[in-house]
Amino acid sequence: MNLVVGATGMVGTEICRLLASSGKPVKALVRAKSDAAKVEKLKGLGVAVSQGDLRDRKSLDVACQGVGAVIATASAMPFAYTPNDNTLHTADQDGCLNLIAAARDAGVQHLVYTSFPPMTPSFPLQQAKRIVEAGLRGSGLAYTILQPTYFMEVWLSPAVGFDYANRKAVIYGTGDNPISWISFLDVAQFAVASLSHPIAQNSVLELGGPASVSPNNVVRIFENVGRKSFEVTHVPVEALQANLAAATDPMQKSFAGLMLNYAGATPIDMSAVLKACSIKPRTVEAYAHSVL
């Protein structure tokens, strides 16, 4: 049995779909407050549902019974975040540490944890991720830590200022630095492949797309695909640094840190991973065609 934690999220749902479609037994941990429509979608895929919460150790003990592998994609950020309740500290840090302990005590054989590559600014989400990574490495469990870079479906979407429908784009920094954009669909494929592929055993895998493309060149790709020009606004690094320094809420501070890192992100070398795996990551061009 495979347990997916964060199953109603973007990556988690796709992981459930991939596992179920390949005939592998899947169980999803869902919160009492999870979107009912998303839970029904999981059930429609043939996924068993176990109600629980990262902050409730007993519910994790129950969910981990009879489970051979756990894939954890859950995060309070951004949609499940509730100040002073479901936070980056209680869910992303302590909750994930609870999950690791519950998996170890239940005899789970392998835990796959989704994180992101180390970033230069310090911010709450990154601190939580690094603490959980260290806890997993020292747990005695067989592990895989996936560190995907910026998701195309998030960072090249209206949610963060890339409004392709109205041909407007907000770019953080100069926009000249190449970024290894990745699709959440490919992250899900890597997560499933990690359950059996030797390259993933007790490994940390940085994940990106097949090519690194600067934000400015992303705009040009979208202009070519859509045959319309974009109105581009740049947010200077100094403004991003000021936003990070001024933010007081942990989620706002984490968004500011992610934006600042975007402005200075460097490419990820995927040559070894792609040579070992049969996964062909989606390109920015393919994503542009899909949304335009």
Give pLDDT tens digits for 37-89: 999 999 999 999 999 999 999 999 999 999 999 999 999 998 889 898 899 99
At residue 196, the 3 state secondary structure works out as: coil
For the chain, the residue count is 292
Please report whether residue 215 resides in a domain.
Answer: no
Please report whether residue 194 resides in a domain.
Answer: yes
User: For the chain, what is the radius of gyration of the CA atoms?
Assistant: 19
pLDDT of 179: 98
Across 88-103, average pLDDT: 97
* Beta-carbon count within 10 A of 137 CB: 14
- Establish whether the linkage from the previous residue to 78 is cis, with ω within 30° of 0: yes
Across 107-127, average pLDDT: 96
Please report whether residue 240 resides in a domain.
Answer: no
Beta strand 2-5 pairing with 69-72: parallel
Instruction: State how far Cα 258 lies from the chain centre.
Output: 13
One-letter amino acid of 250: P
Please report whether residue 292 resides in a domain.
Answer: no
> How many distinct structural domains can be found in the chain?
1
Across 206-228, average pLDDT: 97
Residue 107 lies in domain? 2-151+183-208+268-281
- What is the distance between the alpha carbons of residues 32 and 79, in angstroms, rounded to a whole number? 15
pLDDT of 79: 83
pLDDT of 84: 85
Beta strand 142-148 pairing with 110-114: parallel
Question: CATH number, domain at 75?
Answer: 3.40.50.720
Tokens of 262: 């975007």
Tokens of 107: 């005899």
DSSP conformational letter for 141: S
Please report whether residue 9 resides in a domain.
Answer: yes
Q: What is the pLDDT of residues 229-264, one digit of tens each?
A: 999 999 999 999 999 999 999 999 999 999 999 999
Across 190-211, average pLDDT: 96
Closest residue by Cα to residue 38 from 69, 6, 1 = 6
Q: Please, are residues 183 and 214 in contact by the beta-carbon 8 Å criterion?
A: no
DSSP conformational letter for 72: E
Tell me the pLDDT of the chain averaged across its residues.
96
In the numeric block, the tokens 């600014």 are attached to: 121
Please report whether residue 16 resides in a domain.
Answer: yes
Please report whether residue 224 resides in a domain.
Answer: no
**What would the DSSP string read from start to end of 8-33?**
TSHHHHHHHHHHHHTT--EEEEE-TT
Across 151-179, average pLDDT: 97
From residue 264, how far is each of 83, 160, 223 by CA, in Å?
A: 29, 17, 24
Please report whether residue 55 resides in a domain.
Answer: yes
Instruction: State how far Cα 156 lies from the chain centre.
Output: 15
